[in-house]
Amino acid sequence: MRKGQSEVIGLMVIVLILIFMGVLYLGFANLAGNDTLASQRVGIETENALNAVLRVNLENYDDKTIQDLIVECGGGFDCNQLENALKEVYTAVLKPGTTFSYWVLMEDEEIYATSTCQIGIVSSYVFVRDGIFYEAKLRLCKT
């Protein structure tokens, strides 16, 4: 191989490396911005989904709220009503392809948990009823 040919090949290699680095940069530059905005929206969605559902009046459960059912669950009553109500409401309000995990603490002790998703932003809401602290937590996941 002549000296001139090897120089041309060297130049081509440098150009290819530069193009490759440019493509990588453009790819990552686009990804970074969208991710932040999307996770902000998921955060808002999770917080609102928790707060709105906690106070909704449930027609099929004597107009009780999810908060009432949480207190009943913590007071030793059957937690099935809470579980069924949560499934009914979240099936109606969440977008298709979204799953949720929900758990409740009473005075820092877990009294109820349903876990269908593992990775996602968690939102929590604390309320007091008859001097007892309750904390409801919700996590939303996209499937």
Strand pairing class (109-115; 132-142): unpaired
Question: Is 121 near another protein (CB under 8 A)?
Answer: no
Structure-token match 């009943």, residue found: 72
> What is the number of residues in the chain?
143
User: Which strand ranges, in their side-by-side order, compose the sheet holding 98-106?
Assistant: 109-115, 98-106, 132-142, 122-129
CB of 104 to another protein, least distance (A): 19
Question: Is 96 near another protein (CB under 8 A)?
Answer: no
Return the range that interacts with another protein (CB under 8 A); candidates 4-12, 71-79, 100-108, 109-117: 4-12
What residues make contact with another protein under the rule CB under 8 A? 4, 7, 11, 15, 18, 22, 26, 33-34, 37, 40-41, 44-45, 48-49, 51-53, 55-59, 65, 89, 92-93
